[in-house]
């Protein structure tokens, strides 16, 4: 029973961490498109919409525990790509007087770990 409650709490927290930024991007899609353009991604208009809709839809899927073995992977991919293309370049050169980039690194690592936890512990179901 405790395992199930912990699993539900993890799903709720992770869902919030994706749905809220996804809705923020939905309110200002030009922001994510501008970021993708500045990084050099092709088709930033289409990719921006894919990212923001993925955050919202897969965040909702995680909230409701829908097919967790599959729904975590798009969000893991989003976090890994963001980590490599945005977070690491912001971190370098390392400036210990500004903890924000380091906190962003830690958030991405924890997010990836939590999503992997959902994948491996989907309560023994193919959810």
pLDDT at 127: 43
Total domains in the chain come to 1
CA distance 17 to 3: 21
In a domain, 46, yes or no: yes
Query: Is residue 97 one of the residues assigned to a domain?
Result: yes
Alpha-carbon distances of 15 from 54, 60, 118, rounded to whole Å: 12, 6, 12
Structural domain contains residue 69: yes
Buried b (16+ CB within 10 A) or exposed e, 24-39: ebeeeeeebbebbbee
Q: Which residues of the chain have pLDDT under 70?
A: 1-2, 123-127
Sign of the C-alpha dihedral computed for residues 65, 74, 60 and 83 taken in this order: positive
pLDDT at 23: 97
Residue 126 within any structural domain of the chain:
no
Residues 78 and 81: their CA atoms lie apart, in Å, by 5
Asked whether residue 56 is assigned to any structural domain, the reply reads yes
Instruction: For tokens 């500045």, name the residue.
Output: 38
What CA–CA distances, in Å, run from 36 to 41, 45, 124?
5, 8, 37
**Does residue 14 lie within any of the structural domains?**
yes
State residue 21's pLDDT score: 94
Return d(Cα 46, Cα 42) in angstroms, integer.
Answer: 9
Q: Cβ(118)–Cβ(17) under 8 Å?
A: no
In a domain, 127, yes or no: no
Query: What is the domain range of residue 14?
Result: 2-120
User: Would you say residue 125 lies in a domain?
Assistant: no
Q: According to the model, what pLDDT value does residue 1 have?
A: 63
């Amino acid at each position: 029973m405790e395992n199930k409650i912990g699993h539900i709490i993890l799903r709720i927290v992770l869902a919030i961490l994706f749905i809220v930024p996804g809705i923020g991007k939905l309110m200002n899609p030009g922001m994510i498109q501008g970021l993708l353009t500045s990084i050099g991604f092709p088709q930033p208009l289409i990719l921006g919409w894919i990212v923001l809709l993925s955050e919202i839809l897969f965040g909702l899927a995680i909230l409701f525990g829908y097919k967790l073995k599959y729904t975590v992977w798009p969000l893991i991919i989003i976090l890994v790509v963001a980590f490599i293309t945005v977070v690491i370049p912001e971190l370098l050169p390392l400036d210990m007087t500004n903890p924000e980039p380091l906190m962003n690194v830690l958030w991405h690592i924890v997010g990836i770990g939590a999503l992997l936890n959902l994948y491996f512990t989907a309560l023994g179901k193919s959810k």
